[in-house]
Each structure stands twice: as C-alpha cells, then as structure tokens.
C-alpha cells in the first residue's frame, strides 16, 4: 500500500492475525507496530501499553511497512534497506535480516508456515522465503508496484495487489509453480488485501475509488463492492468473517463493513491519518495505527467505540496481532553441600540459574523451588539479575541421608512470558 506524498518508498499491507492452534495454559496476545520512524513497538493487549521496542541494525534501520506471523516468528518489511527482519516473538529479539527485492512492502505467511511471500514494490516481484532456511528460494515477476499480499487458506494461491493509479488488477500466483496464473480487475489503486477464514473470499482495498472489492476465490471474479471512506488503506476481518474494518486515511476513521450485504454500517472516528488495522484473535478489539498522531487507537468491536489510545513510535504504519507463547526457559542446577547436624542435616548452597533458551539472557525475579528427588521441600529462592537463585535448607533426620545424597531438583513453574523448566543438582557431604 503506497502512502501519499507525505512519505516516499513506504508501503503497508493488511495485518495478519494468527491464533494458537489450541488453547495454551500461558502466553500473551501482543501487537507489533512497525514505525516508519524506526523500531517495532510491542504492545501488550492485556494492558494496552508498549512493553518494549525492537530495533534492528543498532536501531538505525527504520521499519516501513508490514508485519506477519507464523506462530513464534514475526516478519517485518523494511523498504529502506531492502530486507525482511525476522523476530523471535517469545523473546522479542531479532534473529536475522533477509535480503529481498527493492523496497519490500507487503508480507504474508503461508497457512502451513513453510513460506513467506514478500512484495517488492520497487522491482515488480514477489520474493518467496523458505522459513526453514530463512533464505529466498524463488522470485516471481508480477508486474508494477506490487503492494498488498495474502495467501489463500489452502495455501495454493497468493493474491497480490498493484498500487497503480486508475483501474487496476490483482495478480494470482500459483504457489506450486511460483508463477502468475491470472489477473483480476478490481477498483482504482488497490492496496491492502485480506482473506476470509473460510477460504472463500479475498477482500481488496481500493484507495483510489474509495471502496473494497470482494473476490470469489473459486471463480476468481469480483463478487461485490462496498463503498467506504476517503482514501482507504488497511483492512482486517472479524474472526467469524462477517465484518471488515477498513481504515480511511484521509477521513480519520474506520469503516465497519457488513461483508454479507457488502455495505458500510458505520464509521468510527480514530486518530490522525489511520493506515493499518488488526484485530485480537477473539475479535473483541481492533487496533489502528495513526500515522500522523504517532498513536494506536483501540476500538471495542462490540460497541464500535474507541476505548483508548497508545503512544508508539514515530509514524506507525503496519500492525499485526498474535498469540505469543512463553519463551522456552533453561534451568541449570548447581552443586550443594550436605552437613549433618543434631537431629537432621543442613544443605548449603542449593542453587540454579534460569535463562532464556533462545538467547541465553538471564531471567530475573522468578521463583525457583528446591526439593529432594522424592519431593521433600527444601527451600525457595528468587532469581537475581544474573538469573541465579540460591538458598540453604535445614532438613529433618527422617528425610534420610540416602535420599539427600541422590541430589535435588530445582523447578520453575513458568508464567506468561517464560515457560517452566526443571533441573537436577548434586549434593555431596562436606
């Protein structure tokens, strides 16, 4: 999606919302906001506050366009550096920057998670990235100014919009041959695109004709058109597929569209120059990036009212929301010493160090429980800035010397940010 002359070499596509395959006991629903001024703001939707900001290339690389997910990875296009930045979302760290084509704009992940498709606005191509190797395996010529991109539910086709002034087309790419198999006439200057959860429809935002086109996937023809506001940019669909939320960038509003009747139901006033929109997995809230206000508006979809505004980075563009599982943790137990005492024993120097498995970063302020191998409680300690928890324990005689000499277990129960872990440590006599 090409922005107006206020910004050059910038594009946005519809944000994808990914839900977990099954209910998880822990985890967070996070929003990722790509800021044209630099960095990705991570919004915790439970608190509607920025939890942290992710930066690539020492913070000097501005993120320009879109965000998509494959479960535990986020992919962010960067039009300035011609790359896609790969984010490990449980730890919110940058894993890699993948070179793609000129001025990458939109990004979409195949339903199976095996491939990522990136539109390269500057050279009329789509880069196909293998998520196993994080390398480009194919480049597909699609035509001028490719912008928005989405993969159909069955993974067989990729729909690409072309940000060309006047009546334009959507290219359909076959994912087996990685070639354009047909084009579909839509409205003027198409930009963002979204696919319905049932796989039957693809919806295209036409910013030049102020409407959205509904494409029937089976026939690859336009099945309907709905008018929206002035210069629409982004689109997100409700989980049930009955509503679309479309940002109107020059009207400072979001149109709510009934997708069955293909008619606009109402407009919701948001911030200055809204660009992209994404919904939470349960569909209860919509989050809108306001390019001109450096904010994200939060919409309650039941009442269709704005319930909050979140300050993010400069000139926010793309946004995606995803369930993010806890980061895998690693616990390494130490070596304790056993000293007999009257009617019992003293165990000195019980310890364990808790870190993120992916990054090795210490996990601080978490409770670690120490027990004998038979489950007898020893002591509990909290991890310090280095991730180390340590304590001493006085143990009753009835626990038994042989039990203590079998060692101890250290365990961390886990929480929404970090998964549980356990380890075995040794106990020896002084």
CA angle 356, 136, 21 (to 5 degrees): 50
What confidence tens digit (pLDDT) does each residue in 285-340 have? 999 999 999 999 999 999 999 999 999 999 999 999 999 999 999 999 999 999 99
| Per-residue tokens: 220 | 């690859």
Distance CA(83)–CA(105), nearest Å, equals 10
Choose the CATH number for 329-429 among 3.30.590.10, 3.40.50.150, 3.40.50.300, 2.60.40.10.
2.60.40.10
Whole-model pTM: value is 0.89
Cα torsion 92, 127, 191, 38: sign? positive
CB 309 within 8 A of CB 33: no
The average pLDDT across 5-33 equals 51
Neighbouring CB atoms inside 10 A of 83's CB total 20
Instruction: Name the more confident of 68 and 175.
Output: 175
SS3 assignment, position 62: coil
In the chain, CATH 2.60.40.10 sits at: 329-429
Taking domain 17-324, whether its CATH number is 1.10.3720.10 is answered by no
At 325-361, the pLDDT tens digits run 999 999 999 999 999 998 899 999 999 999 999 999 9
* Distance (Å, whole) CA 289 – CA 318: 7
Q: Tokens at residue 6, please? A: 């206020």
């Amino acid at each position: 999606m090409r922005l107006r002359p206020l910004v050059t070499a910038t594009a946005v596509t519809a944000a994808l919302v990914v839900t977990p395959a099954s209910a998880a006991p822990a985890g967070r629903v996070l929003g990722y906001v790509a800021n044209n001024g630099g960095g990705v703001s991570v919004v915790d939707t439970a608190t509607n506050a920025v939890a942290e900001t992710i930066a690539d290339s020492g913070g000097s690389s501005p993120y320009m366009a879109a965000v998509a997910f494959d479960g535990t990875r986020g992919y962010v296009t960067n039009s300035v550096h011609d790359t896609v930045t790969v984010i490990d979302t449980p730890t919110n760290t940058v894993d890699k920057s993948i070179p793609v084509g000129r001025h990458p704009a939109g990004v979409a992940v195949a339903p199976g998670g095996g491939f990522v498709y990136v539109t390269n606005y500057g050279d009329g191509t789509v880069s196909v990235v293998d998520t196993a190797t994080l390398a480009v395996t194919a480049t597909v010529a699609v035509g001028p100014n490719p912008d928005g991109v989405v993969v159909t539910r069955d993974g067989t086709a990729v729909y690409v919009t072309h940000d060309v002034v006047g009546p334009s087309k959507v290219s359909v790419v076959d994912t087996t041959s990685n070639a354009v198999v047909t084009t579909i006439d839509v409205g003027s200057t198409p930009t963002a695109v979204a696919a319905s959860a049932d796989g039957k429809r693809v919806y295209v935002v036409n910013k030049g004709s102020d409407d959205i086109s509904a494409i029937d996937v089976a026939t690859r023809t336009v099945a309907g058109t709905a008018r929206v506001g002035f210069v629409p940019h982004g689109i997100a669909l409700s989980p049930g597929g009955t509503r679309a939320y479309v940002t109107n960038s020059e009207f400072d509003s979001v149109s709510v569209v009934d997708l069955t009747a293909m008619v606009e139901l109402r407009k919701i006033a948001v911030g200055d120059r809204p660009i992209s929109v994404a919904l939470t997995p349960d569909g209860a809230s919509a989050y809108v990036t306001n390019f001109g206000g450096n904010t994200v508006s939060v919409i309650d979809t039941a009442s269709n009212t704005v319930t909050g505004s979140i300050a993010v980075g400069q000139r926010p563009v793309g946004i995606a929301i995803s369930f993010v599982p806890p980061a895998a943790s690693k616990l390494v137990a130490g070596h304790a010493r056993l000293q007999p005492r009257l009617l019992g024993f003293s165990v000195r120097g019980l310890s364990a160090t808790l870190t993120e498995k992916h990054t090795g970063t210490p996990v601080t302020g978490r409770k670690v429980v120490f027990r004998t191998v038979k489950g007898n409680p020893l002591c509990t300690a909290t991890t310090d800035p280095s991730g180390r928890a340590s304590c001493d324990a006085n143990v009753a005689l009835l626990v038994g010397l042989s039990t203590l000499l079998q060692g101890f277990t250290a365990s961390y129960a886990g929480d929404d940010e970090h998964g549980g872990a356990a380890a075995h440590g040794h106990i020896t006599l002084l």
